[in-house]
Structure 1
Amino acid sequence: MDWHSAIKGFQSYLKLEKSLSKNSIEAYSRDIDKLYQFADSQLIKIQPENITLIHLRQFIVWINELGMIPSSQARILSGIKSFYKYLLMEDLIKSDPSELLEAPKIQRKLPDTLSYIEINKLIDAIDVSKPEGARNKAILEVLYGSGLRVSELTELKLSNLYLDIEFIKVTGKGSKERLVPIGGSAVKALKIWIDNVRVHYQIKKGEEDLVFVNRRGTRLSRVYIFMVIKQLAIITGISKTISPHTFRHSFATHLVEGGADLRAVQEMLGHESITTTEIYTHLDREYLKGTIIQFHPRS
Structure 2
Amino acid sequence: MDLLAAIDGYARHLELDRGFSVHTLRAYRSDLADLAGFAATTGVDDSAGIDLELLRGWLWRGSTAGLAKSTLARHSAAARGFTKWLAASGWSDGDPGHRLKAPRADRHLPRVLTRTQVDGLLDGLAEKAAIGEPADVRDLAIIELLYASALRVSEVVGARVADLDRERMTVKVLGKGDKERVVPFGIPAGRALDGYLDGARLLLLGSNPDPGTIFLGARGTSMSTRAVYQLVAGLLVDLPGSGPSGPHAFRHTAATHLLDGGADLRAVQELLGHASLATTQIYTHVSAERLKESYRLAHPRA
Asked if these proteins are the same fold (TM beyond 0.5), I'd say: yes
TM-fit CA distance, 1:246: 0.2
Structure 1 partner of 2:104: 105
Range with greater deviation from structure 2 (270-279 or 282-291)? 282-291
Structure 1, unaligned runs of 5 or more: 294-298
Structure 1 partner of 2:77: 78
Distance 1:285 1:39, change over 3 A: same
SS at match of 1:98: helix
For 1:243, give the aligned amino acid.
Answer: G
TM-fit CA distance, 1:124: 2.2
TM-fit CA distance, 1:233: 3.0
* 1:202 lines up with 2:221 in the alignment: no
Distance 1:133 1:289, change over 3 A: closer
Equivalent residue in structure 2 for 1:266, among 263, 266, 269: 269
SS at match of 1:276: helix
* 1:148 lines up with 2:151 in the alignment: yes
In 1: Cα distance, 2:255 partner to 2:207 partner: 33
In 2: Cα distance, 1:39 partner to 1:211 partner: 47
Could you list the per-position Cα deviations for residues 101-156 of structure 1 after superposition, in whole angstroms to 9, with x for gaps in the alignment? 11212331100110111112222222212211100000000100001111111101
For 1:202, give the aligned amino acid.
Answer: G
For 2:280, give the aligned amino acid.
Answer: T
- 8 Å CA contact retained: 1:203, 1:218: no
- 8 Å CA contact retained: 1:20, 1:173: yes
SS at match of 2:223: coil
In 2: Cα distance, 1:159 partner to 1:283 partner: 35
SS at match of 1:180: strand
In 2: Cα distance, 1:175 partner to 1:169 partner: 12
- 8 Å CA contact retained: 1:203, 1:216: no
Structure 2, unaligned runs of 5 or more: 297-301
TM-fit CA distance, 1:255: 0.8
Aligned alpha-carbon RMSD (Å):
2.1
SS at match of 2:97: coil
In 2: Cα distance, 1:226 partner to 1:12 partner: 29
Distance 1:248 1:292, change over 3 A: closer
SS at match of 1:99: helix
SS at match of 2:255: helix
For 1:190, give the aligned amino acid.
Answer: L
Which TM-score applies when normalising by structure 2?
Answer: 0.90
Structure 1 partner of 2:114: 115
Structure 2 partner of 1:15: 15
SS at match of 2:281: helix
Structure 1 partner of 2:288: 285
* 1:186 lines up with 2:185 in the alignment: no
TM-fit CA distance, 1:21: 2.4
Structure 1 partner of 2:142: 139
Which TM-score applies when normalising by structure 1?
Answer: 0.91
Distance 1:152 1:287, change over 3 A: closer
For 1:28, give the aligned amino acid.
Answer: Y
Structure 2 partner of 1:62: 61
TM-fit CA distance, 1:8: 1.3
In 1: Cα distance, 2:260 partner to 2:35 partner: 42
In 2: Cα distance, 1:185 partner to 1:291 partner: 28
In 2: Cα distance, 1:203 partner to 1:87 partner: 51
Range with greater deviation from structure 2 (18-27 or 243-252)? 18-27
Structure 2 partner of 1:253: 256
- 8 Å CA contact retained: 2:47, 2:91: no
- 8 Å CA contact retained: 1:168, 1:181: yes
Distance 1:12 1:95, change over 3 A: same
In 1: Cα distance, 2:5 partner to 2:286 partner: 47
- 8 Å CA contact retained: 2:160, 2:212: yes
Distance 1:53 1:213, change over 3 A: same
For 2:96, give the aligned amino acid.
Answer: P
* 1:94 lines up with 2:93 in the alignment: yes
* 1:220 lines up with 2:220 in the alignment: no
How high is the sequence identity, in percent, across the aligned residues?
36
In 1: Cα distance, 2:18 partner to 2:148 partner: 30
Distance 1:106 1:233, change over 3 A: closer
- 8 Å CA contact retained: 1:204, 1:217: yes
TM-fit CA distance, 1:20: 1.9
TM-fit CA distance, 1:195: 0.6
In 1: Cα distance, 2:265 partner to 2:62 partner: 36
Aligned length: 291
In 2: Cα distance, 1:282 partner to 1:218 partner: 40
- 8 Å CA contact retained: 2:269, 2:280: yes
Range with greater deviation from structure 2 (107-116 or 278-287)? 278-287
In 2: Cα distance, 1:218 partner to 1:290 partner: 44
Could you list the per-position Cα deviations for residues 229-287 of structure 1 after superposition, in whole angstroms to 9, with x for gaps in the alignment? 222234xx314352111000001111111111111111111111111111001133246
